[in-house]
Chain A
Amino acid sequence: MSNPGVTNQVMQWVETRLPIFSFINHSVGTEYPTPRNLNYWWSLGSIAGVALVLQIVTGIVLAMHYVPHADMAFESVEHIMRDVNYGWMMRYLHSNGASLFFVAVYIHMFRGLYFGSYKAPRELLWWFGILIFLAMMATAFMGYVLPWGQMSFWGATVITNMFTAIPIVGEAVTTWLWGGYSVAGPTLQRFFSLHYLLPFVIFALMFIHLWALHTSKSNNPLGIDVKSEKDTLPFHPYFTTKDLVGFGVFFIILAYWVFFNPNYMGHPDNYIPANPLVTPAHIVPEWYFLPFYAILRAVPDKLGGVALMLGAILILFVIPWLDTSRVRSATFRPIYSKFFWIFVVNGLILGWVGANPAEGSFILIGRIATAYYFAHFILVMPIVGWFEKPKPLPDSIAASVLGDDTAKEAK
């Protein structure tokens, strides 16, 4: 209960009844020891948190003016864009914010992959990250349906149709999801309800994610454990100020898209009102789904495609055990670090294939890239980890950051 930071009488009164100040201090304050060598890749987690808050705030404002009805949704969005004060800004912040949220989370995940942050003792932390990712995908997908443009409608049709692939009950499940016999008004209305709900689920998951983080503490670029206090710095003021720099950069990038290029990441067809009678030439999802869309279409069989796409995410749950390496950080893994970058490029190729119609050479490229995606986890991770000889690890974080002499002196 004793907290050196709490000197004010009122704060003390609160503190003895609800230890909120020591809670904050233990979470992001001077009493949360953080590896001193964290680089800016470690800012992406808190940036994702800021992005989530931004989505919730702008989303609540949009929901004050949006009408979840098949005949009025499109018009209500135009009303927001034209008549609501700063409505255009709220909408562009929300749509571009969603994209940058995914950018942040993808970088965050690749950071974890590179530095072995999923390995013991952080498996559950990693798991809750994947759950967040799944919830984000569901939220973003349903959000994209809300403006009720052509891509909204047809994207929803393609994705919900995947459920018909489930053996026996598929048709029934899909009808139940739609609230009818096709994507229509009832679908829109329930998607709106769920789209409003899920961000709060993500918020809760994020707290569990952070709880796990604060139990095992942050990994670091060296991937070695914290051995003494010299390896760490208090979260505040060191990492609060460092994260602020990250927030600044994030908002600058966001502002560029919102103010100077707001429709670039969207699809022009979504400015055409939904029309069940006219199918767009190419139905493409938002960019952040493209790699998974490519995996879905890599298999000629519907059920197979759906299973593989789901598998592409679910496989992330088992990588703590597929990775057989003794060391965490790929910095010390001369062979695996190469494979890591091949995997990144492979992911970009999948995204590119997903953006194009499934025809000609795209089919073959898509299949090879899909196979490689899984091979990375199923073959590369266990095999390379097993025979690769890691480079020697430094004695400690302090020794590596401060140089050997200072570290010894400090002893």
Chain B
Amino acid sequence: MSVQIIKNASRIFAVTAALVLTATVAAASGGGGPALKTQKWSFNGPMGTYDRAQVQRGYQVYSEVCAGCHSLKYVRFGNLLDIGFSEAQAKAVAAEYEAEDGPDDDGEMFMRPARLSDALPAPFANDKAARASNNGALPPDLSLIAKARVGGADYVYTLLTGYSDAPAGHEVAEGMEYNAWFPGTQIAMAPPLSDDGIEYVDGTAATADQQAKDVGAFLMWAAEPKLEDRHRTGLKTMIFLIILTILFWLVKRRVWRDAH
């Protein structure tokens, strides 16, 4: 009987594996361009967590560089507590910005210092304004970018470090840059990062490569803020389910003992 079970189980796994394989082919065929420069992220793997220091540096890169063009509308100042900011720090960060509120008793909208419950402010009032300042191209909101691209954080890192001169015979239009990893290879975003373009508060050497990695990790956190919770709950759930299933199996064996 147990041989039978193993045989059956292995068949079930074979079928599932085949289905997964089909899905892999489907997913893999989605992305174009050369292979991504895959990194060893701390959040990879079933028990992965965010590296607080890295994600905080990534926030610094975002707020000092990317926020000039890209919004991050699903992240609130209060969420910074999740990546290790103290409440006082997060409040201080929020207070540097203004948020629109109102209407007041006179029916007027007014500006006030931002609070923890406010979303990070968008750099442009609307998409048209964003396009007008970016040669007609729209800088996408980055809240979900790490889940909205094949490769996630690896894609962000690779894109940001992927600028180069166009190969011979390759026309690059006015105001565009060559980037082999961007679909169509011409991107309207000028290379945003440069060595020592910013100065990290924690003293880490701010190479362009380091910044790209850090902002990649930060954007993964922005897209999937519950990842650590998910991994922790997952581990507990798995242990529980495996024990439960073994118990079920023992009960079943006991019940069936005399039936063969």
A-B interaction: yes
User: A259 near B251 (CB under 8 angstroms)?
Assistant: no
Partner among B12, B25, B252 whose Cβ is within 8 Å of the Cβ of A352: B25
Nearest Cβ in chain B — how far from A114, in angstroms? 11
Binary flags per residue of A86-98, CB closer than 8 Å to B gives 1, else 0: 0011001000000
Judge whether A41 is part of the interface by a CB distance below 8 angstroms. Answer: yes
- Residue-wise, chain B 115-149 has the 8 Å CB interface mask toward A (1 for contact) of 00000000000000000000000001001100111
Asked if B8 and A248 sit within 8 Å, CB to CB, the answer is no
**What 1/0 flags go to A360-393 for Cβ under 8 Å of B?**
0000000000000000000000000000000000
B4 interfacial by beta-carbon distance below 8 Å: yes
Q: Are B19 and A248 in contact (CB under 8 A)?
A: no
Query: Which of B96-104, B171-179, B197-205, B242-250 forms contacts with chain A?
Result: B242-250
Check A401–B260 contact: CB distance below 8 A: yes
Q: Is B231 an interface residue (CB 8 A)?
A: yes
* A265 interfacial contact with B, CB 8 Å: yes
Hey, which chain B residues are within 8 Å of A268, CB to CB?
A: 30, 147-150
B249 to chain A minimum Cβ distance, whole angstroms, is 5
B16 on interface, CB distance cutoff 8 Å: yes
Tell whether A355 pairs with B8 under 8 Å between CB atoms, given A241-B255, A255-B241: no
Given contacts A82-B74, A103-B16, A244-B252, contact A89 B233 (CB under 8 A): yes
A148 to B16, CA, bound (A): 29
Q: Which of B144, B231, B242 contacts A259 (CB 8 A)?
A: B231
CB distance from A204 to the nearest CB of B (A): 29
Complex Cα gap A394–B9 (Å): 25
Instruction: Tell me the smallest distance from the CB of B84 to a CB of chain A, in Å.
Output: 18
Q: Are A282 and B252 also in contact (CB < 8 A) when A82-B74, A255-B237, A259-B230 are?
A: no
8 Å CB contacts to B: which residues of A227-283?
A: 233, 237-238, 241-242, 244-245, 247-249, 251-253, 255-256, 258-260, 262-265, 267-269, 271-272, 281-282
Which of A89, A237, A259, A284 makes the CB contact (< 8 A) with B26? Answer: A284
Q: Which residues of A contact B237 (CB under 8 A)?
A: 255, 259
- Interface size range of chain A in the complex: 35 or more
Taking A271-B144, A287-B22 as contacts, is the C-beta distance between A262 and B230 under 8 angstroms? yes
Decide: A248 and B12 in contact? CB cutoff 8 A: no
- Interface check A171, CB cutoff 8 A: no
Q: Hey, which chain B residues are within 8 Å of A271, CB to CB? A: 144, 147-148, 223
Instruction: Tell which of A39, A268, A269, A351 has the most Cβ of chain B within 10 Å.
Output: A268
Q: A355 and B22 in contact (CB under 8 A), knowing A248-B248, A255-B234, A282-B29?
A: yes
- Closest CB in chain A relative to B226 CB, distance in Å: 5
| Cβ of A340 to closest chain B Cβ, rounded Å | 13
The docked-state distance in angstroms from the alpha carbon of A284 to that of B224 is 24
CB closest chain-B residue, reference A291:
B22
CB distance from A137 to the nearest CB of B (A): 16
CA distance A287 to B30 in the complex (A): 13
Nearest to B48 among chain A residues (CB) is A260
Which chain A residues have a beta carbon within 8 Å of chain B's beta carbons? 36, 39-41, 78, 81-82, 88-89, 92, 103, 107, 233, 237-238, 241-242, 244-245, 247-249, 251-253, 255-256, 258-260, 262-265, 267-269, 271-272, 281-282, 284, 287, 290, 348, 351-352, 355-357, 401-402
* 10 other A-B residue contacts (CB within 8 Å) besides A82-B225, A255-B234, A284-B30: A39-B8, A40-B12, A88-B229, A245-B249, A255-B237, A259-B46, A268-B148, A268-B149, A352-B25, A355-B22
15 contacts between A and B (CB under 8 A): A78-B143, A103-B19, A238-B259, A242-B256, A244-B251, A244-B252, A259-B233, A259-B237, A260-B234, A262-B230, A268-B150, A271-B223, A282-B30, A351-B19, A356-B26
